């Protein structure tokens, strides 16, 4: 107000002096009046001064924020890069740019197969509480609705407990297209970096395809419900046809590896159960399968996930703030709800460790034994190398019994098998629990288990991967009943047995033959150098009434410096989720050369990427990471993929690239090949 | 400005002085008095006030504080309201919404049966960047077209550069790859909140449709139809998708729902898919019969849209002309050196697809100098209908009377472009005729080319006298228009000739009609041999639609402006069809009824030479009713070109057909307009 008046006065100042005087007088009076008013207002506001200062403070922050945003938007787009380069020195070219300069261009079409959890899911039909969410993402994106209406969200994300398909009245479907899994949440890339780099050498929608599927349901059910496998088949055929007969390069990640294994069997199987593509479909359409972080033989993490819905992260949270997760905060019963939801997802069962004791080790034996955990930590730390060497020699004696995937109590995990007293739980009484009715509406199958059953489980003390299956059958019979119809975890004695034509064996590499496609190539690309969960120390939950009766014993610590046991979890080399053994064994031994699992002798290659944490915060999630998801931004991996997509073979890349002990471990596994 | 600065300084500096060195503050105004001597008296008073206050209250609220306070207060209130809004149950916040047709039909027992393919039209599909110049850094896979269009404001020239195509080939310029967004997101919403397909998709979902039986055939709508196949294999993808959906949904044929330009795109597809491989898709002659149950064309632009002509000719349509009339000079002055219209013209002229929408069929369909099929159309009546949905019997009697008396006053719609209002109304005998052939001889390369800056419109290459030749001809019909465009935009038309044709076939068995450039013209192709297929024309009626234009030469004939523009001063003949230089006729705001309905009403009706297998056709018209209240948004009974996608009756028709109904079951034809009479006036050999 004041300003404007001043301005007009200046403009009119060329007029007569008297006018100015008048104006000034007026203005002065006006201002005086205003000033008085102001003073009054201030006096009045004395009482509410706290609110005022709050408002003032918020106003300040908002204004500054807007101002910064404005500046940020006005800034040229290359500015952040310029700053980064000024601090860290020139960045290396992204692999796409580098390879483009080398002259690489689009050659083979590329198919991405996303893994579990990373793909988006959207709502197509829902209950009353989910109104307005039509075609909005329930999974992926900002997860805004988890906070707004958590119970509604859990209800929509769960599947039917009996069939493993949609519950009545709810249809949640995978997002399709590249957007399905380029970013999991805003800013958290999954495939985006790889897509951007492929685009640099000329890839676009017509040569890239994201085989998005509903990762909650079992592999065969994606075909039954959504015809996803048929779509993938048709899309691959289309891409081969429209790109001049060039075969596709398939890049599955995480569980997508198993899904694509299933696909390769499905597509060649005859029509009612399979896709009817004929016995040479894979040979005709697929150039290479580049598995990233593939849990071929399963992931021990899944066991703890199914058993007590906790992974290391949750166990740590529980250790720091005991009771928070267990109490009925706001009546939410978080973990129980999560357990109920995840147990309806059939796909998690595809990643239960496969191959039993032969692969994962028995009570006293495991392929990884002798692995030195301190070596991993000190690899990036030169000062410790001497001490590490010394320890390496000494520590061999008390090597970890990784074979015991679940043990009750730290001592049980370490002593020799002959000293363990075990009581078989299999025949134990699973009576109705009286506490069942008091446990609200949250249904976990533990409510059906009597106290006796829980005790019987704990009394068995040690579970190897063979007995884990029995354990899960015992604690979650309904889930495993569904699981048995869709997945199998054994090792085939005779692959020609006609029973192996059933789809439940297709995703288990130990019970299927690879397709007859000698020109195809299979890569196993995974990160190493990150401690990965391998075995757990459990304890009974103190108040075993309504809660999940078991939890990881976070107090179990290894003691010495170079220990593998930390917070109740034994870790081993891997990519934070998948142990090296699971990711590498098939390519290192199971399929190497002409074996019974690989009758046509498809060449296999192992490409390991040693984990190096990001050098500074500016690098974000790092360009040399080996972690399970972050590896998708690893420049070396992207480089390899682009080269293969542009036509290189495994030999051109340099064959195997191994940092871990995978060959040594594979040799310890006695598997008939 | 100085005073503002000083005031601000006061705000910041003064109170400190006041509190610490009270007497010094008396000196500052003196110094400032020397500077200006106007403001100080105010400031003196202000300072005194402030000093007084500061004595009473050491903690003083200053101007900046008040600003902050206000902003903070507003923000807090806003957040509070937002929070409350989110806390409220969804049903409470929304007003009582009428039940969507999908929900009603679901109760009737309809479920998903035939897979549905949606084919979006021009402009409504999203485009995203895959490779660009340095100026488009950070926009990888971001939408350039559709969405919030923020980049237009941030870097307009960069944006235009990326959206234009190559001037010679009509494909990507080197180093730039802009591609269609795939999937349902491509055209569900054009901009946030502005639905295109979203309402239809939602209603389809209610009766059980989902990703596996609902497909959006997104394509790059800037390219000519055959080029979408050459560059992106869009037609092959569509074919494979339809085949896949056919198989995975239990061998149920698909229902195709194209909109606007998608209609002729799909017409092109129908021919392409059955043609032999080098040029076509090699699906064999039975492909359509085997895979397609019905084609439900929404707002079909079968015979072209007159709007396109004005667009190509002078980059303006009704809206632009109106702006120009209101604020003359705004668009023409070189504000900020932007030259908006010229840029728009240059970019849109590189888009081949626009040419596919030019009026087809020449004078036979669109009328000549003295005749047009729509003649006798009463705009007043239509406007009244438009304003007041209820039909007035008295009025209609009245109009019948008019039709009898005023035959000579009919609007001469046939003259799509006329120079001057008089030229649009005179009988043809009084018009000076100039052989159009003369144009081509006079066109020479222009000398004014060099000073015309970097904006290239083909008008720069025309010499001034040849520009002056254009208005001499006074009136252009659909036939002479093509010559005119050849004259003013030779390069564009040369590209277009290779991809589109706008004539009428004499003999459809002529082998030349096997070329793809004829496939999108319904008057030069036969429909596929698929007697069980159904073709619907679903179009809105009751909205005045642009049909022909009154032009004038631009007053300032400087090199940078487009030399012609719509004469927005030409207004109102007696029956009110002329408004702002544009003659209106019945239609859906973009497509006149003639173009939308003729093929279904006459051209393909029964067994004609264009429809040898006798595919059943249905005309379903939807009378426009403006939304009753603001709460209804864009209306649930709208007949406008895009808003019709939210029309409840149309959605119901689509849903019923998708759920298995035939055209006869949903009630055959519903006709509100004069399309039958108009069609009868057209003498087309069938």
More confident residue, B474 or B182: B182
Q: Which residues pair with A252 in a beta bridge?
A: A113
Residues B400-417, mean pLDDT to the nearest whole number: 59
| pTM confidence score | 0.82
Strand extents, DSSP E, A245-358: 248-252, 286-292
DSSP state of B253: P
- Residue B278 reports pLDDT greater than 70: yes
The pLDDT tens digits of the residues spanning B9-67 come to 444 444 444 444 444 444 444 444 444 444 445 555 555 555 544 444 555 667 777 77
The whole-angstrom separation of Cα B358 and Cα B500 is 10
- Chain A, chain B: beta-carbon pairs less than 8 Å apart: 171
For residue A628, indicate whether it is catalytic.
yes
The pLDDT tens digits of the residues spanning B450-492 come to 444 444 556 656 666 667 777 777 788 888 888 888 888 888 8
Chain A CB contacts of B61 below 8 Å: 38, 42
**Do strands B194-195 and B189-191 pair parallel, antiparallel, or not at all (unpaired)?**
antiparallel
A390: confidence class by pLDDT, cuts 50, 70, 90: very low
Tell me which of A336-345, A486-495, A641-650 is least confident.
Answer: A336-345
More confident residue, B190 or B53: B190
- Predicted local confidence at residue B538, as pLDDT: 92
Strand extents, DSSP E, B151-300: 177-180, 189-191, 194-195, 214-216, 254-258, 292-298
More confident residue, B410 or A324: B410
DSSP output for B348-410: HHT-GGGGGGS--SHHHHH--SS--TTTT--HHHHHHHHHS-S--HHHHHHHHHHHHH-GGG-
A290: confidence class by pLDDT, cuts 50, 70, 90: very high
- For residue B137, give the nearest of A77, A195, A205 by CB distance: A77
Cα B382 → chain centroid? 22
Taking CB atoms and an 8 Å limit, are A31 and B71 in contact across chains?
Answer: no
Catalytic residue from among B162, B291, B499, B641:
B641
CB of B88 within 8 Å of a chain A CB? The answer is no
Residues B281-287, mean pLDDT to the nearest whole number: 89
Helix (H, G, I), strand (E, B) or coil at B527: coil
CB of A27 within 8 Å of a chain B CB? The answer is yes
The pLDDT tens digits of the residues spanning A332-370 come to 566 777 777 888 888 888 888 998 888 888 888 888 877
Residues B385-404, mean pLDDT to the nearest whole number: 43
| Nearest to A258, CA basis, from A477, A488, A472, A502 | A488
More confident residue, B562 or B77: B77
- Residue B395 reports pLDDT greater than 60: no
Find the closest chain A residue to B8 by CA distance.
Answer: A3
Tell me which of A374-383, A521-530, B587-596, B600-609 is least confident.
Answer: A374-383
The pLDDT tens digits of the residues spanning B217-250 come to 999 999 999 999 999 999 999 999 999 999 999 8
More confident residue, A537 or A77: A537
CB of B69 within 8 Å of a chain A CB? The answer is yes
The whole-angstrom separation of Cα B451 and Cα B496 is 29
More confident residue, A400 or B232: B232
- CA dist list (Å): A78 to A85, A107, A186, B598: 11, 31, 21, 55
Angstroms from B292 CA to nearest CA on chain A: 19
- Predicted local confidence at residue A261, as pLDDT: 93
- For residue B7, give the nearest of A2, A27, A182 by CB distance: A2
Taking CB atoms and an 8 Å limit, are A77 and B184 in contact across chains?
Answer: no
- For residue B61, give the nearest of A5, A42, A61 by CB distance: A42
CB of A416 within 8 Å of a chain B CB? The answer is no
CB of B75 within 8 Å of a chain A CB? The answer is yes
More confident residue, A18 or B618: B618
Q: Which two tokens stand for residue A15?
A: 């007029």
The pLDDT tens digits of the residues spanning A412-465 come to 777 777 777 676 666 655 544 444 444 444 556 666 666 677 777 888 888 888
- Residue A218 reports pLDDT greater than 80: yes
- Residue B328 reports pLDDT greater than 60: no
Q: Which two tokens stand for residue B640?
A: 């406008």
B404: confidence class by pLDDT, cuts 50, 70, 90: very low
- For residue A227, give the nearest of B42, B212, B240 by CB distance: B212
CB of B35 within 8 Å of a chain A CB? The answer is no
CB of A48 within 8 Å of a chain B CB? The answer is no
A375: confidence class by pLDDT, cuts 50, 70, 90: low
Residues 496-515 in A contacting B (C-alpha not used; CB under 8 Å):
none
- Residue A159 reports pLDDT greater than 70: yes
**Do strands A110-113 and A248-252 pair parallel, antiparallel, or not at all (unpaired)?**
parallel
User: Which residues, at least 6 apart from B440, have a Cβ–Cβ distance to it below 8 Å?
Assistant: B486, B487
A122, with CB counted inside 10 A (0-12, 13-18, 19+), is buried
Contact by Cβ (8 Å): B170, B223: yes
- Predicted local confidence at residue A321, as pLDDT: 54
Tell me which of A241-250, B322-331, B620-629, B653-662 is least confident.
Answer: B322-331
Taking CB atoms and an 8 Å limit, are B69 and A78 in contact across chains?
Answer: no
Chain B CB contacts of A6 below 8 Å: 3-4, 7, 38-39, 42
Most confident of A45-54, A320-329, B24-33, B160-169: B160-169
Chain A CB contacts of B44 below 8 Å: 28
| Nearest to A539, CA basis, from A313, A315, A365 | A315
For residue B499, indicate whether it is catalytic.
no
Residues A209-231, mean pLDDT to the nearest whole number: 91
- Predicted local confidence at residue A172, as pLDDT: 92
- Predicted local confidence at residue B402, as pLDDT: 40
- Predicted local confidence at residue A437, as pLDDT: 44
- Residue A572 reports pLDDT greater than 80: yes
DSSP state of A92: P
The pLDDT tens digits of the residues spanning A232-284 come to 999 999 999 999 899 999 999 989 999 999 999 999 998 888 888 888 999 99
The pLDDT tens digits of the residues spanning A580-615 come to 999 999 999 999 988 999 999 999 999 999 988 877
- Residue B422 reports pLDDT greater than 80: no
More confident residue, A396 or A243: A243
- For residue A56, give the nearest of B68, B180, B248 by CB distance: B68
For residue B574, indicate whether it is catalytic.
no
Q: Which two tokens stand for residue A118?
A: 């990373």
A9: confidence class by pLDDT, cuts 50, 70, 90: very low
Tokens 């040594």 label which residue?
A664
Chain B CB contacts of A208 below 8 Å: none
Catalytic residue from among B54, B260, B418, B590:
B260
The pLDDT tens digits of the residues spanning B105-155 come to 988 888 999 999 999 988 888 899 998 888 887 788 888 888 777 777 777
Helix (H, G, I), strand (E, B) or coil at A346: helix
């Amino acid at each position: 107000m004041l300003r404007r008046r001043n301005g007009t006065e200046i403009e009119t100042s060329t007029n007569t002096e008297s006018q100015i005087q008048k104006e000034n007088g007026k203005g002065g009076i006006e201002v005086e009046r205003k000033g008085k008013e102001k003073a009054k207002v201030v006096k009045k506001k004395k009482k509410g001064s706290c609110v005022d200062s709050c408002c003032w403070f918020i106003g300040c922050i908002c204004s500054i924020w807007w101002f910064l945003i404005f500046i940020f938007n006005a800034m040229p787009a290359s500015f952040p890069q310029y700053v980064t380069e000024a601090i860290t020195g020139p960045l290396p070219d992204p692999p796409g740019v580098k390879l483009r300069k080398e002259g690489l261009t689009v050659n083979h079409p590329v198919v991405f197969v996303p893994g579990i959890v990373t793909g988006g899911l959207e709502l197509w039909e829902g209950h009353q509480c989910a109104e307005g969410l039509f075609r909005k993402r329930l999974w992926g994106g900002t997860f805004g609705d988890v906070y707004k209406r958590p119970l509604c969200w859990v209800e929509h994300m769960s599947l039917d407990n009996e069939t493993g398909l949609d519950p009545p009245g709810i249809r949640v479907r995978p997002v399709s297209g590249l957007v399905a899994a380029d970013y999991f949440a805003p800013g958290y890339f999954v495939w985006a970096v790889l897509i951007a780099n492929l685009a640099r050498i000329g890839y676009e929608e017509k040569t890239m395809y994201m085989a998005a599927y509903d990762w909650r349901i079992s592999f065969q059910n994606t075909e039954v419900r959504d015809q996803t496998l048929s779509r993938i088949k048709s899309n691959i055929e289309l891409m081969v046809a429209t790109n001049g007969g060039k075969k596709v390069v398939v890049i599955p990640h995480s569980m997508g590896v198993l899904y694509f294994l299933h696909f390769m069997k499905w597509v060649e199987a005859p029509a009612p159960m399979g896709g009817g593509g004929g016995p040479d479909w894979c040979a005709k359409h697929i150039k290479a399968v580049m598995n990233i972080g593939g849990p071929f033989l399963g992931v021990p993490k899944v066991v703890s996930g199914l058993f007590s819905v906790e992974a290391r992260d949750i166990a740590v949270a529980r250790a720091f703030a005991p009771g928070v997760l267990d109490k009925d905060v706001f009546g939410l019963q978080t973990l129980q709800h999560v357990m109920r939801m995840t147990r309806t997802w059939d796909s998690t069962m595809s990643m239960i460790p496969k191959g039993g004791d032969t692969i994962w080790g028995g009570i006293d034996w495991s392929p990884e034994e002798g692995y030195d955990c301190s070596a991993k930590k000190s690899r990036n730390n030169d000062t410790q190398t001497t001490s590490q060497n010394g320890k390496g020699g000494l520590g061999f004696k008390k090597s970890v019994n990784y074979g015991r995937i679940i043990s009750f109590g730290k001592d049980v995990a370490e002593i020799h098998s002959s000293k363990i007293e075990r009581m078989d739980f299999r025949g134990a009484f699973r009576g109705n629990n009286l506490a069942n009715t008091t446990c609200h509406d949250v249904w976990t199958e533990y409510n059906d288990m009597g106290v006796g059953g829980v005790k019987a489980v704990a009394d068995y003390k040690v579970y190897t991967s063979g007995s884990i299956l029995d354990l899960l059958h015992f604690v979650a019979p309904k889930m495993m009943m569904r699981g048995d119809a869709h997945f199998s975890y054994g090792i085939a004695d005779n692959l020609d047995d006609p029973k192996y034509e059933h789809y439940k064996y297709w995703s288990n590499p130990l019970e299927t033959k690879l397709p007859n496609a000698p020109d195809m190539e299979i890569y196993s690309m995974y990160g190493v150098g990150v401690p990965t969960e391998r075995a757990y120390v459990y304890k009974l939950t103190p108040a075993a009434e309504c809660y999940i009766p078991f939890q990881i014993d976070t107090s179990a610590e290894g003691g010495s410096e170079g220990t593998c046991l930390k917070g109740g979890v034994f870790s081993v080399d891997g990519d934070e989720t998948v142990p090296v053994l699971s990711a590498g064994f098939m390519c290192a031994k199971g399929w190497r050369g002409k074996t019974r699992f690989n009758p046509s002798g498809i060449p296999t290659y192992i490409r390991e990427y040693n984990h190096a944490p990001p050098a500074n915060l500016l690098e974000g999630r790092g360009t040399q990471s080996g972690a399970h998801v972050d590896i998708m931004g690893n420049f070396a991996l992207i480089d390899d993929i682009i080269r293969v997509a542009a036509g290189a073979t495994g030999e051109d890349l340099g064959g195997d690239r191994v940092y871990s002990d995978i060959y040594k471990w594979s040799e310890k596994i006695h598997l008939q090949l | 400005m100085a005073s503002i600065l000083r005031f601000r300084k006061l705000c910041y500096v003064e109170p400190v002085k006041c509190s610490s060195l009270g007497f010094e503050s008396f000196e500052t105004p003196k110094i400032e008095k020397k500077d200006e001597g106007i403001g100080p008296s105010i400031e003196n008073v202000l300072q005194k006030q402030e000093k007084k206050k500061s004595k009473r209250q050491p903690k003083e609220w200053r101007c900046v504080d008040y600003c902050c306070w206000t902003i903070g207060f507003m923000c807090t209130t806003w957040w509070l309201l937002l929070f409350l809004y989110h806390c409220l149950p969804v049903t409470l916040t929304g007003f009582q919404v009428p039940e969507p047709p999908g929900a009603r039909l679901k109760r009737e027992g309809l479920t998903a049966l035939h897979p549905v393919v949606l084919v979006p039209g021009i402009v409504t599909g999203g485009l995203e960047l895959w490779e660009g110049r340095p100026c488009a850094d950070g926009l990888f896979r971001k939408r350039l077209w559709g969405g919030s269009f923020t980049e237009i404001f941030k870097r307009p020239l960069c944006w235009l550069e990326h959206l234009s195509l190559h001037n010679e080939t009509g494909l990507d310029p080197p180093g730039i790859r802009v591609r269609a967004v795939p999937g349902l997101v491509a055209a569900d919403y054009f901009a946030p909140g502005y639905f295109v397909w979203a309402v239809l998709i939602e209603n389809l979902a209610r009766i059980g449709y989902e990703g596996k039986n609902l497909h959006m055939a997104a394509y790059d709508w800037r390219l000519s139809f055959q080029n979408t196949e050459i560059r992106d294999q869009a037609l092959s993808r569509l074919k494979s998708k339809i085949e896949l959906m056919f198989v995975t949904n239990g061998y149920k044929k698909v229902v195709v729902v194209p909109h606007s330009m998608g209609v002729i795109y799909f017409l092109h597809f129908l021919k392409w898919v059955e043609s032999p491989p080098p040029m076509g898709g090699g699906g064999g002659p039975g492909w359509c019969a085997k895979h397609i149950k019905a084609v439900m064309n929404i707002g079909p632009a079968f015979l072209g849209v007159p709007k396109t002509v004005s667009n190509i000719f002078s980059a303006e349509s009704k809206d632009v002309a109106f702006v120009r009339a209101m604020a003359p000079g705004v668009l023409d002055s070189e504000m900020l050196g932007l030259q908006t219209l010229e840029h728009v013209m240059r970019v849109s002229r590189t888009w081949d697809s626009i040419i596919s929408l030019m009026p087809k069929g020449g004078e036979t369909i669109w009328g000549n100098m003295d005749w047009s099929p729509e003649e006798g159309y009463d705009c007043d009546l239509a406007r009244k209908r438009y304003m007041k949905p209820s039909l007035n019997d008295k009025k209609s009697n009245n109009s019948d009377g008019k039709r009898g008396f005023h035959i000579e006053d009919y609007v001469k719609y046939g003259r799509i472009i006329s120079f001057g209002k008089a030229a649009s109304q005179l009988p043809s005998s009084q018009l000076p005729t100039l052989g159009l052939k003369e144009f081509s001889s006079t066109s020479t390369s222009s000398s004014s080319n060099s000073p015309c800056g970097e904006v290239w419109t083909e008008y720069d290459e025309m010499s001034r006298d040849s520009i002056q030749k254009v208005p001499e001809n006074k009136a252009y019909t659909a036939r002479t228009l093509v010559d005119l465009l050849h004259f003013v935009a030779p390069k564009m038309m040369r590209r277009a000739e290779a991809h589109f044709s706008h004539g009428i076939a004499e003999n459809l068995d002529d082998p030349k009609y096997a070329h793809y450039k004829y496939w999108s013209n319904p008057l030069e192709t036969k429909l596929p041999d698929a007697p069980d297929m159904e073709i619907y024309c679903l179009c809105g009626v009751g909205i005045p639609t642009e049909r022909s234009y009154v032009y004038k030469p631009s007053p300032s004939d400087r090199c940078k402006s487009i030399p012609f523009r719509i004469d927005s001063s030409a207004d109102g003949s007696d029956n009110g069809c002329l408004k702002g230089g544009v003659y209106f006729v019945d239609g859906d705001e973009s497509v006149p009824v003639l173009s939308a309905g003729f093929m279904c009403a006459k051209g393909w009706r029964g067994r004609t030479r264009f429809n040898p297998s006798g595919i059943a056709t249905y005309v379903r018209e939807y009378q426009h009713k403006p939304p009753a209240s603001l709460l209804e948004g864009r209306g649930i009974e709208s007949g406008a070109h895009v808003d019709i996608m939210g029309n409840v009756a149309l959605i119901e028709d689509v849903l019923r057909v998708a759920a298995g109904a035939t055209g006869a079951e949903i009630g055959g034809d519903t006709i509100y307009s004069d399309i039958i009479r108009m069609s009868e006036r057209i003498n087309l050999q069938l």
